[in-house]
Amino acid sequence: MSSGATHCSVDGRLVPVDQPALRPDDRGFAYGDGAFETLRAVDGRPIGLGRHLARLGTTLDALRIPRPPIDLPEELRRVLLANGLTRGEACARIRVSRGPGWGARPPPDPRPTVIVDASPCPPTLDARRAEGMAVVTLQTPRRALPTLKTLAWLPSVVALLDVPCDAEAIFCDDDEVLEGATTNIFALRPGLIWTPPDDGRLLAGVARAVVLTWAAASGLAVREAPLSRAALAAGPALLTNALLRAAPVRAVDAVPLPAPDIELLERLHVAYDALADAT
């Protein structure tokens, strides 16, 4: 967790972040058995909350974890308030595990654990939005359930060990670009925005959906189709996630890329929050 947070919510109870509150047999800790969402908040208001909760529900249903009997919007509000994060930007997270239970076989009567926390946004966020990030393409094992946002996030963690701290790792399937360790990726061409297809091999992020909606409304052609490494490196590109919104790609495998149109990026950032909150 980023510095500055003092409290989190565990199963509906506000607790100090430095006090143990998780059972040692919690399956989220032991097996990555659960789901999570990371979202941006502005002035204490979570952005795109409905979209994030819908995706969380989809993941929980796929994992056959019961929906927790907790008012998650209220818990987010309480946690943001408890940490003094009601002005400016903040990063909030919701984690739901299957709850306690040893052994690989899931318990027949799961009792989910729910953790909600929030902290100031990383200080690097503004620089990444403005200056962009380099990307490094990797032929690397992907997540076991790539379309679901589970707690089993180790492939992304390991991939990021192999790239500089100011760069993003990009997962590839042979020559085909799929997604970033923490982002989705878009190639920009005149009048066109191009992203790998949601074909079961990647996690289609909330920010990805918002950008596609914005692009169509802005009169850009949208292409969801295979994207090769060479095609990615042939022109401007963007990385997206809920915290970044959109950040330019500076280079692909150390080959510099031209910068995206600044006016296009500014229009996207202005429109993003309203579109994220739209049903």
Supply the CATH classification number for the domain 7-121: 3.30.470.10
**In the structure, what pLDDT confidence band is assigned to residue 3 with cuts at 50, 70 and 90?**
low
The closest of 23, 27, 11, 13 to 98, measured between CA atoms, is: 27
Query: What is the DSSP track for the chain?
Result: --TT--EEEETTEEEETTS--S-TTBHHHHH--EEEEEEEEETTEETTHHHHHHHHHHHHHHHTPPPPSS-HHHHHHHHHHHTT--SSEEEEEEEEE--B--SSSPPSS---EEEEEEEEPPTTHHHHHHH-EEEEEEE-PPPSSTTS-BS--HHHHHHHHTS-TTEEEEEEETTEEEEESS-EEEEEETTEEEE---SSSS---HHHHHHHHHHHHTT-EEEES-EEHHHHTTS-EEEE-TTTS-EEEEEETTEE-PPPPHHHHHHHHHHHHHHHH--
Does the pLDDT value for residue 1 go beyond 70?
Answer: no
Q: Pinpoint the residues of the chain covered by CATH 3.20.10.10.
A: 126-277
Q: How far is CA 187 from CA 67, 132, 236, in A?
A: 37, 14, 6
Instruction: Give the model's pLDDT for residue 2.
Output: 42
Q: Is pLDDT of 143 > 80?
A: no
Q: pLDDT band at 279, cuts 50/70/90?
A: low
CATH number of 126-277: 3.20.10.10
What confidence tens digit (pLDDT) does each residue in 38-52 have?
Answer: 999 999 999 999 999
| CATH 3.30.470.10, the chain: domain bounds | 7-121
